[in-house]
Amino acid sequence: MSPRDTGSDQPGRPANRFAEYGPPRRVEGGLRARSTRGAIGTSWWSRRFLEVLESFALGTRLTRGRSYARAGQVLRLDVTPGEVTAAVQGSRSRPYEVRITLAPFPATLWARVEEELAAQAFFSARLLAGDLPAELEELFVAAGAPLFPVGLAELGQWCSCPDGAVPCKHLAATFYLLAEAFDADPFALLHWRGRGRDELLDRLRVRRGGAAAVPERSDSDEVSSAPVTGAARSVAGLPPASLADAVDRFWSSPVPLPDRPPTLATGTELLLRQLGAPAPAIGGPGLVERLRRAYRRLGEQGTG
């Protein structure tokens, strides 16, 4: 694998040399992007991730890998704390190895974030439901841990192909498939930053008082082996005579729900982040950046 410097071509490796190798080899069973046309990414967090990459002036370079992502050229994609690895089939017989790194948050910083998350039932309820609320990004920023990279230097990009451009087609295809992986499992983004789904949810439950204990059962107990749901927790451990008293609690939520929407100090850019980049015909990511600067100036004038 040949490491490359993020943001610049490798010395002695002209980017156009890659054209000598022809079209990619067709593969079967690759990871094919669900999007067949237009923009890739449906959730706010995946669109925000691609928007951040485009803000690093990678927009035109990213499009080089869109056809690879949609053709199923990515054979493997793995997300681990601080690192994403992939195998992408190019023009050679052997797939290229790709690696994208982003430093995970240290344990002390995650502890601060978890404390903030647990302090508001809104976040616990949404995360336990498998959703990342848009306000989550603001919370991470306020905790001194931006969820998305704030500069290109934070991302390490490596590919074993001979193309000197960064990102090459294989890296770009991996970015697109990574965004769709975030769509399928929003916790993959948090896992990349150092906290897996189970560990994070367990820590939130502990900080909010812990989940209801479920008694152990013997092999002779005639009960289903299916996972214990929120409704099951409401009646777990009750003697048969008390089941009638638990009817009112049968459909209750396993976690406390907020009495009112959360109150967060949000900046003027939150709406732009939720809407995503406009179409190229009306300005694309460049328009977003101009609006962001204008909103920031308006906010400063309003508080001045």
Residues 178 and 272 in one domain: no
Residues 285, 153 within the same domain:
no
In a domain, residue 288? The reply is yes
- Residue 275 lies in domain: 266-304
Residue 165 belongs to a domain: yes
Instruction: Answer whether residue 129 is part of any domain.
Output: yes
**Do 270 and 153 lie in a common domain?**
no
4 within domain boundaries: no
What is the count of structural domains for the chain?
A: 2
Q: Which of 178, 203, 228 corresponds to the end of one domain?
A: 203
pTM score, whole prediction: 0.61
Residues 48 and 163 placed together within one structural domain of the fold: yes
Residues 19 and 156 in one domain: yes
- Nearest CA to 230 out of 204, 254, 248, 211 is that of 254
Q: In this structure, is residue 232 part of a structural domain? A: no
What does each C-alpha distance from 110 to 32, 107, 184, 190, 198 come to in angstroms?
33, 5, 23, 10, 14
Contacts 24+ apart (CB under 8 A), 206-211: 207/114, 207/115, 207/118, 208/118, 208/121, 208/124, 208/255, 208/256, 211/254
Final residue belonging to a domain, choices 177, 203, 229 = 203
Q: Are residues 176 and 91 in the same domain?
A: yes
Answer yes or no: do 139 and 59 share one domain: yes
**73 inside domain:** yes
Residue 245 lies in a domain: no
Output the tens digit of pLDDT for each of the chain's 304 residues. Answer: 444 444 333 333 444 454 555 677 777 767 777 766 667 777 888 889 988 888 886 767 788 788 888 888 899 999 999 999 999 998 888 999 999 999 999 999 999 999 888 888 888 788 878 788 888 888 899 888 899 998 889 999 999 998 888 889 899 999 999 999 998 888 999 999 999 999 998 898 888 775 443 334 444 444 333 444 444 444 444 454 444 445 445 555 555 554 444 444 445 555 565 566 676 667 666 777 778 778 777 766 665 5
